[in-house]
Amino acid sequence: MGSPHTTAKNRVHGARSQIISAMSCLNMPASPITPNPGSVYLSQTDEMAKHAMEHLQAAFDYLADVSTYPTGDFSKSLADKIAKELITWNVIAENEKDRVAPVIRFLLEDINR
């Protein structure tokens, strides 16, 4: 089993991959570890269960990113792309992009407030 990693650019795909890895861990043969006195949780007594928890934490990290609305450079880039699409659909004129994109960016960032 590999170490969990959170470097995938597509955060939803990354979360899915980590959940699949956690499920794989839980379907492996038991691999008991010597528990500390007072250990009551499966992740404290079995290596595969412990490893599954690491993959689930990585999945939660990915999902935390997904639930955050765009800000900063990403919101600017997204606003520019939306403005270009509006031009393509003839919703706005080419010369209106510089006026419309900042408004879209403001709206995207305002969702977080």
Please tell me the total count of domains within the chain: 2
Regarding whether 59 and 79 lie in a shared domain, the answer is no
pLDDT band at 19 (very low <50, low <70, confident <90, very high): very high
Domain extent, residue 81, equals 72-110
Rounded distance between C-alpha atoms, residue 69 and residue 82, angstroms? 15
Please list, residue by residue across 46-70, b when 16 or more beta carbons sit within 10 angstroms of its beta carbon and e when fewer do.
bebbbbbbbbbebbeebbeeeeeeb
Q: Residue 32: helix, strand or coil by DSSP?
A: strand
| Identity of the residue numbered 64 | A
Question: Is 43 contained in some domain?
Answer: yes
Least confident of 5-9, 19-23, 59-63, 97-101: 5-9
Regarding whether 62 and 33 lie in a shared domain, the answer is yes
Structure tokens at 34: 């010597």
The per-residue pLDDT for 30 is 92
Question: Is 37 contained in some domain?
Answer: yes
Do 11 and 69 touch, CB atoms closer than 8 A? no
Question: Is 42 contained in some domain?
Answer: yes
Question: Is 1 contained in some domain?
Answer: no
The per-residue pLDDT for 69 is 61
The per-residue pLDDT for 28 is 93
Regarding whether 52 and 22 lie in a shared domain, the answer is yes
Rounded distance between C-alpha atoms, residue 16 and residue 58, angstroms? 10
The per-residue pLDDT for 71 is 63
Regarding whether 79 and 56 lie in a shared domain, the answer is no
Question: Is 5 contained in some domain?
Answer: no
Regarding whether 58 and 17 lie in a shared domain, the answer is yes
Question: Is 40 contained in some domain?
Answer: yes
Mean pLDDT of 83-102: 89
Per-residue pLDDT tens over the stretch 40-65: 888 999 999 999 999 999 988 888 77
Q: Does position 35 have pLDDT exceeding 70, yes or no?
A: yes
